[in-house]
Structure 1
Amino acid sequence: MDAPPPSFPPPPVPGRVPPRERTVTVVTHPEATHHVEGLVGGQFDSALTPRGERQAAAIAAALHARIDGSARVGLVASDLRRTRRTAEIIGAVLGVEAALDPRLREKSYGEAGGRPQAWLDARFVPPPAVGERMRHHDGVTGSETRLDVAVRAYRAMTELLGRDDDELVVVTHGFTAGMVVAAWIGMPLEAAGHVAFPVPSGSITTLREDGYFHNRGVVTVGDVAHLR
């Protein structure tokens, strides 16, 4: 008689702590003042609008509904006002205090930050379709390259993934969120020249690592159903 096929994952062994899966939730901050005023964001320290505050509450409610109350939850955010405030609202609902990490800030647009978007558009040098994109400079004094953002985001994620969290919530910005996801899946730094994910303001991106094979998946990207 044929033996039954093995089960994956195998049944738990008495006395042994079962492996845990973990989830990383990447939140892009909701509507901020620079959005409605037509200004360049980046590291310009804009605040959430009243609508953005309501959107942050909707994000918090969505996370609360999904996260098991017995889970070990970590919360970390960019230290800019709009992300810090988003994390405060989430933390109040989840019962956890946010840690702030400036490495999760948005790409800096240097002297363009806080100026009208048209000012940047008139000076911006787009990256080439092929060739060197990571070190390409966009022509604005003081702005970061894609490589600058990737290096700090990858370093932040390397440290954060060493934490003992069942659920880790990362509150960041649109461009940086792409680098956070790239770091999660282990994309080599130099291969991130074209990486981009559709993560609109106020969106939730869900990343999950299974507790047996430790494969890392991208479950959802840029989900905004909670905002509707």
Structure 2
Amino acid sequence: MTEILLIRHGETAWNAIRRLQGHLDIPLNAEGLRQAAALARAIAGEEIDAVFASDLMRARQTAQAIAAPRGMTVQLDRGLRERCYGAFEGMLYADIGKRYPDAYAAWKARDIDARFPAGVHVAETMREFSHRTVSTILRIAGSGRHRKIAIVCHGGVLECAYRAALEMDFDQARDFDIFNASINRFESDGGRLHLLHWGDVAHLESLDVGALDELVK
């Protein structure tokens, strides 16, 4: 079995104002950099064999905070990207329903096969997104080369992994939180995911800005 530390990236400026990112490439803000540094410090004593990440900047930066002190290279995989939301991307959540009322209603109804209007990118359905992300995690974990890995990805990817591990359908409302820079522990033999622990953010509860300044430079 491979143990997986499945980690959501740190905060971005768009997270802070609830602007939908999707495949748009937004960097961490100052708070996100501090979160990434605190995360790296929290797991510094764990033996991690490899660090993987989505190729989007917010995940890469978070993963680099983990990999750099270990002298490791972050292995990027586009299969770990957030869901593509098409025309929704770049919009404030509060404005999506006003601009696209029918598509927004389908989103809120958790229609797994709804495809939103195209924008800069062509949107994915939730079914396509879940298949892409879960199969990517299983492929990485099933390589047989690592005992413990860190995978830095996105909130939507974490939701898909959680539901896959608990065999929870998407028509069930999400009743679990997904935190920036959270540590979520799974294990897998490449066949399926098993959830060990969810939503560890203890390392963020007392962020000491001064103590972390050197780590985020």
TM-score w.r.t. structure 2 length? 0.78
How far apart, in 2, do the equivalents of 1:64 and 1:209 lie?
22
Displacement of 1:114 after TM fit?
A: 1.6
- The reply to whether residue 220 of structure 1 matches residue 201 of structure 2 is no
Find the counterpart in structure 2 of residue 119 from structure 1.
Answer: 95
Using the TM superposition, give the Cα deviation of residue 148 of structure 1 relative to its aligned residue in structure 2, in angstroms. Answer: 1.4
Aligned partner of 2:39 in structure 1 is 59
Q: 1:39 to 1:133 in 2, by over 3 A?
A: closer
Aligned in 2, Cα 1:152/1:193: closer, same or farther, shift over 3 Å? Answer: farther
Q: How many residues align?
A: 195
Q: Check conservation: 2:183, 2:199, Cα contact below 8 A.
A: yes
**What secondary structure is seen at the aligned counterpart in 2 of 1:125?**
helix
Preserved CA contact (<8 Å) 2:138 2:192:
no
Cross-structure match for 1:105 = 81
CA distance in 2, matches of 1:23, 1:173: 18
User: Would the aligned equivalents of 1:105 and 1:173 in 2 still touch at CA under 8 Å?
Assistant: yes
Give the aligned partner of residue 152 of structure 1.
Answer: 132
Secondary structure at 1:158's aligned position in 2? Answer: helix
Change (3 A) 1:168 1:44: same
Deviation (angstroms), 1:186: 8.1
Q: Report what 2:154 is aligned to.
A: 173
Query: What's the offset of the Cα at 1:76?
Result: 0.8
Do the aligned partners of 2:142 and 2:188 also contact (CA within 8 Å) in 1?
no
- The C-alpha deviation readout for 1:96-132, integer Å capped at 9, x for no partner, is 2111111111111112212233332322124476xx8
- Any stretches of 5+ residues in structure 1 without a counterpart? 1-20
Larger Rg over CA atoms: 1
**Please, what TM-score do these two structures have when normalized by structure 1?**
0.75
Which structure has the highest helix share of the two? 2
Asked if the contact 1:106–1:172 (Cα under 8 Å) also holds between the matched residues in 2, the reply is yes
* Structure 2 runs not aligned, ≥5 long: 206-217
Shift of 1:160: 0.6
